Amino acid sequence: MAPAWLARLKLKAARPRLALTTQVFFEPRIIKQRHASVAVQCVMVPYQRGTMPRYEYRNLTPLPGAEASFLSWIDSLDEEFSDRDPEHRSTAVREALHQLYCGKPYAEPDSSASLARQALVYSLDPRNTTLEPEYYGDVDPARYAERKPLIWFWMMYDRSPVGLNHWLGYRVRAMLARHIFKFCGANVKIFHGVEVSFGYNLTVEDNCVIHKYVLLDDRGEIIVREGTSISDYANVYSHAHDLNDGMIVTGQTTELGPKARITYHATVLSGVRVGEQGMVGSMGVASKNVEPYHVVAGVPAKPVKVKPSAPQELRQAYEAREAGPR
């Protein structure tokens, strides 16, 4: 008996193109060796929408005392960060990070302290740090100066002992995003390890989810429309470099959604628009626009199907293109 994966491989290579409304289940039954070919019987059954279970997220909360403490801390930070003065924000961030990492109010490191401890304490103050985007020639120094302390707090919070607490983290990052982003809507969930470039060129609308270790490079402009999901380790760019001179940079607008899905490890290049309900498959590189309801995959990403939920005219147009001459 040949392994199931071999049966699937041989059948896939031999079978004709299937309509989107069918699904194939492979069941090896009789295997015969015929000049290195494999004969496989299979069962084809109609695809029934709704056969996959749908799971809603569970509603989880910390203990009442912890919840009250968490929310009070977020409110106090929100109030401090509402003052846009970079000096005020830097002082507030220094104090908050010292409390997180050292468990006590900020104090200048004693000269008798180890050099490593002095480096740690000084680095908790964003005025003693630099971040990659502030080196870029196209940065707006004034707008970035307002946001840099909060971006530093975001990065250091995520690396602190409490950074992996999802219940707290969603709320901390949403609060920070309202001060950093050009716009941040309601019910936005941002997981740990997400990084932005400038922040002030980034719009995230309502009900979006941005999973862990996503890069949102808003050197140009990024607009994440309502209900869009960006999965782990995805990269979204909004600038491009000249082929001959890498110091020549062009900023463009990259737009996702509404209700688009950028899946695991996928990349969306500068200036690309992923349309409503569009999807970029795992590891795919979207270098061209993704039409509404289309699923693209590969490097470079190309259309592989249209969602069953797409309007009839979109599905018919896609099927007509697929049936055309090649």
264: domain CATH number? 2.160.10.10
**Would you state the pLDDT for residue 324?**
76
**Would you state the pLDDT for residue 184?**
98
Measured CA angle at 155 (ends 152, 156), to 5 deg: 85
What is the spatial distance between Cα 170 and Cα 103, in angstroms, rounded to a whole number?
22
Q: Are residues 167 and 107 in the same domain?
A: yes
Domain that holds residue 147: 68-179
The amino acid at residue 175 is: M
For 248-270, give the DSSP string: -EEE-EEEE-SS-EE-TT-EE-T
For 76-107, give the DSSP string: HHHHHHTS--HHHHHHHHHHHHHHHHHSS---
Q: Say if 59 falls within a structural domain.
A: no
Q: Say if 55 falls within a structural domain.
A: no
Q: Say if 54 falls within a structural domain.
A: no
Q: Is 288 left (phi over 0), alpha (psi -120 to 50) or beta?
A: beta
Tokens of 245: 């001179």
Q: Are residues 211 and 301 in the same domain?
A: yes
Q: Which of 179, 204, 228 is the last residue of a domain?
A: 179
What is the spatial distance between Cα 248 and Cα 204, in angstroms, rounded to a whole number?
28
Please check whether residue 218 is in contact with residue 181, taking contact to mean a CB–CB distance below 8 angstroms: no
Q: Are residues 117 and 233 in the same domain?
A: no
Q: Which of 179, 211, 241 is the last residue of a domain?
A: 179
**Would you state the pLDDT for residue 221?**
98
Q: Are residues 137 and 217 in the same domain?
A: no
Q: Are residues 129 and 216 in the same domain?
A: no
Q: Say if 62 falls within a structural domain.
A: no
Please check whether residue 10 is in contact with residue 38, taking contact to mean a CB–CB distance below 8 angstroms: yes
Q: Which of 148, 179, 210 is the last residue of a domain?
A: 179
Other beta carbons within 10 Å of 43: 9
Q: Say if 205 falls within a structural domain.
A: yes
Q: Are residues 152 and 204 in the same domain?
A: no
User: What are the DSSP E strand ranges found in 215-301?
Assistant: 215-217, 221-224, 229-230, 235-237, 239-241, 249-251, 253-256, 261-262, 267-268, 273-274, 279-280, 285-286, 294-297
Dihedral over Cα of 300, 307, 27, 264: its sign: positive
Measured CA angle at 146 (ends 142, 147), to 5 deg: 120
Q: Are residues 93 and 212 in the same domain?
A: no
Q: Which residues of the chain have pLDDT under 70?
A: 1-50, 326
43: β partners: 25
Q: Are residues 114 and 193 in the same domain?
A: no
Q: Say if 158 falls within a structural domain.
A: yes
- Residue 187 phi/psi, 5° resolution? 55, 45
Please check whether residue 233 is in contact with residue 266, taking contact to mean a CB–CB distance below 8 angstroms: no
Q: Are residues 78 and 167 in the same domain?
A: yes
For residue 60, the SS3 value is coil
Q: Are residues 31 and 85 in the same domain?
A: no
Q: Are residues 152 and 293 in the same domain?
A: no
Q: Quote the number of domains for the chain.
A: 3
**Would you state the pLDDT for residue 319?**
87
Q: Largest alpha-carbon pair distance within the chain?
A: 82
Radius of gyration for the alpha carbons in the chain, expressed in angstroms and rounded: 25
Q: Say if 58 falls within a structural domain.
A: no
Q: Are residues 132 and 231 in the same domain?
A: no
> Which DSSP helix (H) or strand (E) runs through 202?
strand 202-204
Q: Say if 257 falls within a structural domain.
A: yes
